[in-house]
Homo-oligomer: A and B are copies of this chain.
Amino acid sequence: MLRDVTVSEVGPRDGLQMVRKVVPTADKRRLISALHAAGLPEIEVASFVPPKLVPQMADAAEVTRFAAALPGLHVAVLVPNLRGAEAAVAAGAHKITLTLSVSEAHSQANLRRSRTEQMEEARAVTTWLRSLPPDARPRLEAGLSTAFGCSLQGEVPEAEVVGMAVELARMGCDSVGLSDTAGYANPAQLRRLLRLVRAEIGQACDSLHLHDTMGLGMANVTVGVEEGIRIFDGALGGLGGCPFAPGASGNIVTEDLVFLLESLGLRTGIDLDALLAARAILAEALPGEPLHGAYARAGRPTGWRAAA
């Protein structure tokens, strides 16, 4: 399947981590299988965090191993530290996103570490990964949380985002993603920050993780596309958030993201009908949990065609 843009589904990680219920492993497998069947090229299936802190992710290794066996699927996971990275590699993850916060307040709340300490952790992860044989080495993405503002501290200086991105690229991260953890980004800010970061590290800044708190998710995607970004995270039904970003609401809705990208003429390789089937599985697994999204509500516009 030809693809112009990569939609990375983070629902099984960012979504299921935020719901109160611990979703059984069997349901996660059904959901991941359905997403894979719908054509999602990459799925963030778990985060490798202490089960005491996040019981929803206690089965991270099992779920990762399951996903890694699905043909052609790029299996991504989130890790907060070296220990998580080691466990993720052991389970067969293809891409590891190490999370760091540009906001000091969010770093302390979410990671219980200062930004400086977390940069040291990033150095430990890159050093360890380099010690692995190349064919056992996953891609390492540094995920810069709160890059566009923080609900705890407010404004996040752009120079600090750029500074961290440069340092992380230099220490050997394969890519740096910008995360709008709080959902505060506006399109003008997004364009400006992308240009600032890419002026320093170029295409190594290659992905956006957006939330829809202020209803500007699709506007931000549009500007990201115009700026040349070709990897976007989304979550089925708009699940997700961050326990340490008060007021933040869910991720941008994968269904709406795919609809927008295809409408813009960018092939995602994803079948929207099959994506709605995956959404139905999610709804079954999470009774009572509100799912969001315009496409699921409105359906396909009369005469609409996917990108060809």
Binding site for B on A (CB under 8 A): 149-155, 182-184, 186-189, 212-216, 218-219, 221-223, 247, 249, 253, 256, 259-260, 263-265, 293-295, 297-299, 301-304
- Say which residue of B218, B253, B263, B299 sits within 8 Å of A247 (CB atoms): B299
Chain B residue contacts of A187, Cβ below 8 A: 222, 260, 264
Smallest CB separation, A59 vs chain B (Å): 32
- Say which residue of B184, B188, B297 sits within 8 Å of A301 (CB atoms): B184
Task: Tell me if B219 and A221 are in contact (CB < 8 A).
Answer: yes
Could you list 20 A-B pairs, sorted by A, with CB under 8 Å? Answer: A151-B301, A151-B302, A152-B302, A182-B302, A184-B301, A186-B264, A187-B260, A188-B263, A188-B265, A189-B263, A213-B301, A214-B256, A214-B294, A215-B294, A216-B218, A218-B219, A247-B298, A249-B294, A249-B297, A249-B298
At the interface, is chain A mostly helix, strand, loop or mixed? loop
Complex formed: what's the CA distance from A223 to B221 in Å? 12
Complex formed: what's the CA distance from A55 to B271 in Å? 44
Chain B residue contacts of A298, Cβ below 8 A: 183, 213-214, 247, 249
Task: Tell me if B149 and A256 are in contact (CB < 8 A).
Answer: no
In this complex, what residue of B is CB-closest to A293? B215
7 closest residue pairs by CB, A with B: A154-B303, A215-B294, A186-B263, A219-B219, A154-B302, A218-B219, A219-B222
